[in-house]
A and B are shown apart, each in its own frame.
Chain A
C-alpha cells in the first residue's frame, strides 16, 4: 500500500464501516473478536478500531450487548443487532447503491443523471 491510499481508505471507511459491521450482525450474534476476524483488510486496517466503533453503535441503540459464559475464560461480550439497527441498514443499502453508482459513473467519465 502506498501512503496516499492509506489516508484515502481511512476516510472512505469512516462512512461505511459501521454499516458493514451492522450487516455482519444481521443474521447472527457475534463476539467482537469474530467480527474483527471476518472484516476484510480493506475495510479495517487496525482491528482495535472496531471496539470504539462497537461502543458507538451500542450508544446509538443499533446494537445490544450480552455477556456470554465462555469455557475458555472470563465471560465475553456478544453483539446483536437491534430493530433500529435493521432499520438503519434498510436506509443505508439503497443510499449506498445510489452513492456507489454515482461515484462509478464519475470515475468512468460517464454522463450524470442531472
Chain B
C-alpha cells in the first residue's frame, strides 16, 4: 500500500491500522484497502486540504471503523455454523479400519504356531520303541508376512485412501497413520523369528509378547493421533 502524499490521510490510515492490530491479517488488509480506495475515489483531481478533512470526517473516526471490524455481533456468520462438518467421519473411519487391520493381524499372529513338532519313532535292537517328539522353532516369518499383508490389505488400503483424502491430519501425522500398520506387520513377522534365532525358545516367546504389545500400542497411537487431529479441527471455526 503506497502511502498517500498527504500527512492528514497518512495519519488517519496509520491510526486505523494500529487500532486494527488485533484483527486477523486478511481482514485488516481488506478493511485498509477499502478505506484507502474510498479516500482516493472521493478526492477530486485538484483537491484541497479542506476536501481531505471533509472526506475523512465522512469516513468517521478511525475508532468507529475499528469498532465495526471487531463487532462481535455477526448474525450472518452464525448461519455458516449450521452446516454440518462432513469431514470428521473420514479420519474416524480410517482409524477404525486401521484398528480392524490390527485385529486381523492379531488373530493371524495368535493362530500361527511358533513351533512345529516332529516325532521320530525308532526301535532298537531289543524291540523297544521310542518316540521322540522334538519341537522345532518355526516362527514362519515369511508366512506371517504374506498372510498378514493379504488379510489386512483391504482394510489398510481403504483406510489409506480415506487418510489421504481427509484434510484433518497434518502431513507428518498422516504418514505415521499410513505407515504404522505395515510397520507392525513387518515387526510381528520378523521379531519372533529373530528372537528365536538369537535366544531360542525364550527369545522367540519374548519377542512374540513384545510384538503383541507393539500391536496394542499401535492401536492406541492411532486413536490418539485421530483424536488429536479431530479436536484440533473442531477448535478452529470453519472457513474464513
Q: What is the interface of chain A, defined by CB distance below 8 A to chain B?
A: 14-15, 18, 31-33, 36, 45-62, 72-74, 76-77, 88
Contacts and interface: CB of A to CB of B under 8 A. Distances in A.
Contacts, number: 90
Contacts of B60: 45-49
B33 to A, nearest CB: 7
B19 to A, nearest CB: 11
Task: Classify the secondary structure of B's interface with A.
Answer: helix
B31 A51 contact: yes
Task: Classify the secondary structure of A's interface with B.
Answer: helix
Contacts of B62: 48
Contacts of A49: 60, 64-65, 67-68
B38 A33 contact: yes
Contact size range, B: 20 to 34
8 contacts: A18-B75, A48-B65, A50-B34, A51-B35, A54-B34, A55-B31, A56-B71, A60-B76
Given A32-B38, A47-B38, 9 more contacts: A14-B71, A18-B76, A50-B34, A52-B27, A52-B31, A54-B30, A58-B30, A72-B41, A73-B40
Contacts of A14: 71, 73
B6 to A, nearest CB: 15
Contacts of B127: none
Q: Which 5 A-B pairs have the closest CB atoms?
A: A46-B60, A51-B34, A52-B69, A48-B65, A48-B59
